[in-house]
A = this chain, B = another copy of it.
Amino acid sequence: MYSFKNDYSEGAHPEILNALAKANFEQVEGYGEDCYTTRAVELIKQQLDAPGAAVHLLPGGTHTNLTALAAFLRPHEAAIAPCTGHILVHETGAIEATGHKVISVEVTDGKLNPAHIQAVLDAHTDEHMVKPKLVYISNPTEIGTIYTRSELQQISRLCRAKNLYLHIDGARLGSALCAAGNDLRLPDLGELADAFYIGGTKNGALLGEALVICNTALQADFRFHMKQKGALLAKGQILGIQFLELFQNGLYFDLARHANAMADLMKKAIAGAGFEFLTQSPTNQLFPILPNWLIERLQEKYSFYVWSKTDAAHSAIRLVTSWATEEAAVAAFIDDFNTCIKKG
């Protein structure tokens, strides 16, 4: 049984494990004040071309979102998110647990646009309602779609005009930045967003997300917030070592490209066989719509999520590739897929 269930089934890229082993007995300062973290942070800032940014390494994605939003927002301020947004659906109310409402916007492609945001602003007119203050988007979205540079610029422009913060969840950011059709570069994010994070967990690290706070007004005392939320690991060096490894020779992007390439092979095979997809994803998550009988056959040898029913006889499934996905496994899947179809 090979798993295309998610991009966190395996451990870390071997070079990361090696780096951890190599630094293992070196005595370093605790709580992220070690030399590895310092170097990783500097490296990320260089690659962002954002010397004024603050970069912090946190253990996981939900943890990063909740720590950041709790730090950024005052009690009556709310976030705006597309209905598929991770903070809205799959973080067990983590943002609300810090006291803030997340306002849901109905979308079908996982993406917000300025009109969505403006509509929320228009609906929130006085102190009897929360004050929308932060726009949360994910790139890629939770359903694999990506934002173009122009789309992000438009959102950013509106946010600045309306005094809203723009926070980008980059749990799978590598996959977005390496996707076919992407025209966003890392420095664009530093320029357009107030904060965003570069996901490590889903792209080769054991754990770890690099939160970039671009807006200097949001940077003060951030380590207090991290500590308060349990996000300041005593052995912070294990995050620093990993991000240093991911960013010093482009490994982060190599891994993302591999994941995307594996997905692309599957996408072409499935599309080639005449099937549609629930979403247009150039990233490492695919949502093909398949007949239920075919899904059942594939489940005999592969694990993946059945995402949603699309009609009585069909469902969308989610196939996820990662840095660790073996090309042979993808080839086998395609083979099995085609065989199943022929047999009918």
CB pair B228–A231 under 8 Å, yes or no, is no
Chain B residues with CB below 8 A from A99, complex form: 93, 96-99
Among A5, A27, A231, A238, find the residue whose CB has the most chain B CB atoms closer than 10 A.
Answer: A27
Describe A's contact surface by its main secondary structure.
loop
Chain B residues with CB below 8 A from A202, complex form: 234
Interface check A341, CB cutoff 8 A: no
Q: For the complex, give the distance between the alpha carbons of A10 and B22 in Å.
A: 11
Interface check A74, CB cutoff 8 A: yes
CB pair A233–B93 under 8 Å, yes or no, is no
Interface check A317, CB cutoff 8 A: no
CB pair B8–A24 under 8 Å, yes or no, is no
Interface check A275, CB cutoff 8 A: no
CB pair B24–A224 under 8 Å, yes or no, is no
Chain B residues with CB below 8 A from A230, complex form: 59-60, 62-64, 66-67, 94, 229-231
Q: Which of A260-282 contact B (CB under 8 A)?
A: none
Q: Could you give, for residues 39-63 of chain A, a 1 whenever the CB lies within 8 Å of some chain B CB and a 0 otherwise? A: 0000000000000000000011111
Per assembly, the copies of the chain total: 4
Among A21, A75, A91, A201, find the residue whose CB has the most chain B CB atoms closer than 10 A.
Answer: A75
Contact with A75, one of B59, B89, B223, B228 (Cβ below 8 angstroms):
B228
Interface check A113, CB cutoff 8 A: no
Q: Which of A213-249 contact B (CB under 8 A)?
A: 221, 223-235, 237-238
Interface check A182, CB cutoff 8 A: no
CB distance from A163 to the nearest CB of B (A): 12
Q: For the complex, give the distance between the alpha carbons of A62 and B74 in Å.
A: 20
Q: For the complex, give the distance between the alpha carbons of A17 and B20 in Å.
A: 8
3 closest A-B pairs by beta carbon, nearest first, are: A63-B230, A11-B24, A76-B224
Sample 16 A-B pairs with CB under 8 A, ordered by A number: A6-B234, A10-B26, A63-B230, A64-B230, A76-B227, A76-B228, A78-B93, A91-B227, A91-B228, A93-B101, A93-B228, A97-B100, A97-B228, A130-B228, A131-B221, A207-B234
Residues in A lying within 8 Å of B, measured CB to CB: 2-3, 5-6, 8-12, 14, 17, 20-21, 23-31, 59-64, 66-67, 70-71, 74-76, 78, 89-94, 96-102, 104, 127-131, 201-202, 206-207, 221, 223-235, 237-238, 324
